[in-house]
Amino acid sequence: MKAFLYTTTVLLIAAYMQRSRDNEPSDTPATGGIATLCKPPLCKLPSRTAFLRTTAPIESAKPSGTDGMVFIRGGQFQMGSVAFADAKPIHAVAVDNFWMDTHEVTNAQFKAFVKATGYITIAERPLNPADYPGVSPDKLVPGSAVFSPPVRPVSLTNPLQWWVYVASANWRHPQGPGSSIVGKDNEPVVQVCYDDAVAYANWAGKRLPTEAEWEFAARGGRTNTTYYWGNDLKPKGKWVANLFQGSFPSANSAEDGFRTTAPVQTYPANTYGLYDMEGNVWEWCSDRYRPDYYQQSPVHNPKGPADSYDPDEPGTIKHVQRGGSFLCSDQYCVRYRAGSRGKGEPGSASNNLGFRCVRSAQLY
Ligand SMILES: [Ca+2]
Dist CA 11 CA 192 (whole Å) = 85
Q: Which residues of 144-173 are buried (b: 16+ CB within 10 A; e: fewer)?
A: bbbbebeeeeeeeeeeeebbeebeebbbbb
CA distances from 258 to 42, 245, 262, 325 (A): 63, 10, 6, 11
| Helix/strand/coil for 236 | helix
Residue 34 has pLDDT above 60, yes or no: no
pLDDT band at 64 (very low <50, low <70, confident <90, very high): confident
269 CA to middle of ligand 1, Å?
Answer: 17
Q: Which of 237, 217, 162 is nearest to 359 (CA)?
A: 217
125 CA to middle of ligand 1, Å?
Answer: 30
Residue 26 has pLDDT above 80, yes or no: no
| Helix/strand/coil for 215 | helix
Residue 183 has pLDDT above 90, yes or no: yes
Dist CA 192 CA 179 (whole Å) = 16
pLDDT band at 48 (very low <50, low <70, confident <90, very high): confident
Q: Which residue would you say has higher pLDDT here, 175 or 42?
A: 175
Q: What local confidence, expressed as pLDDT, does residue 4 receive?
A: 52
Q: What predicted TM-score, i.e. pTM, was given to this entire model?
A: 0.84
152 CA to middle of ligand 1, Å?
Answer: 19
Mean pLDDT of 142-169: 94
- Average pLDDT of the chain is 89
184 CA to middle of ligand 1, Å?
Answer: 16
Q: Which of 290, 321, 318 is nearest to 305 (CA)?
A: 290
Dist CA 229 CA 244 (whole Å) = 17
| Helix/strand/coil for 27 | coil
CATH number of the structural domain 2-24+36-363: 3.90.1580.10
Phi and psi at 93, nearest 5°, equal -135, 145
129 CA to middle of ligand 1, Å?
Answer: 37
124 CA to middle of ligand 1, Å?
Answer: 27
279 CA to middle of ligand 1, Å?
Answer: 8
Dist CA 212 CA 190 (whole Å) = 23
Q: What local confidence, expressed as pLDDT, does residue 32 receive?
A: 40
pLDDT band at 120 (very low <50, low <70, confident <90, very high): very high
Q: Kindly list the protein residues that place their beta carbon closer than 5 angstroms to ligand 1, a single-atom ion.
A: 242, 256, 258, 326
252 CA to middle of ligand 1, Å?
Answer: 8
